[in-house]
């Protein structure tokens, strides 16, 4: 049985195949994806969705006591960080996808989120 991440990755590959897109022919750019992520006063995906996003990222790894890229600001960090800090951490994750040729895959995931799956400035 496929996990949610495996299902989503498979679904995204099928979409990319239908559009005749490969990793060298990215449709999404960092700028276009970041514009989407910050539109409608968005800060970042809500914790469960943000964790799902992090699980999609390629080549994450533990380095000493931390991780590369740094983990989402969820769980205990959610209530102890500002909206701006959360948004900056999401930006690091989006930049990571650019360097790992995952902009389209991650873009598909983020575009699939409902508006209520996002935290907005002033709500948290």
pLDDT tens string 8-26: 445 445 444 444 444 455 6
Number of domains comprising the chain = 1
Q: Does residue 93 lie within any of the structural domains?
A: yes
Instruction: Report how far residue 90's alpha carbon sits from residue 95's, in angstroms, rounded to the nearest whole number.
Output: 9
Q: In 10 A of CB 35, how many CB atoms?
A: 10
Q: Does residue 15 lie within any of the structural domains?
A: no
Q: Which of 115, 119, 63 is nearest to 90 (CA)?
A: 119
Instruction: Report how far residue 17's alpha carbon sits from residue 64's, in angstroms, rounded to the nearest whole number.
Output: 38
Q: Does residue 21 lie within any of the structural domains?
A: no
Q: Does residue 94 lie within any of the structural domains?
A: yes
Range of the domain at 116: 28-120
Q: Does residue 112 lie within any of the structural domains?
A: yes
Q: Does residue 7 lie within any of the structural domains?
A: no
Q: Does residue 54 lie within any of the structural domains?
A: yes
pLDDT tens string 18-56: 444 444 556 899 999 999 999 999 999 999 999 999 999
């Amino acid at each position: 049985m496929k996990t949610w991440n495996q299902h989503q990755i498979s679904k995204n590959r099928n979409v990319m195949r239908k559009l005749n897109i490969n990793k060298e022919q990215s449709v999404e750019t960092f700028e276009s994806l970041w514009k989407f992520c910050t539109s409608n006063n968005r800060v970042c995906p809500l914790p469960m969705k943000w964790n799902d996003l992090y699980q999609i990222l390629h080549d994450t790894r533990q380095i000493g006591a931390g991780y590369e890229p740094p983990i989402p600001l969820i769980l205990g960090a959610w209530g102890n960080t500002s909206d701006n800090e959360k948004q900056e951490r999401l930006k690091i994750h989006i930049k990571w996808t650019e360097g790992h040729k995952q902009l389209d895959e991650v873009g598909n995931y983020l575009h699939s989120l409902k508006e209520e799956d996002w935290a907005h400035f002033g709500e948290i």
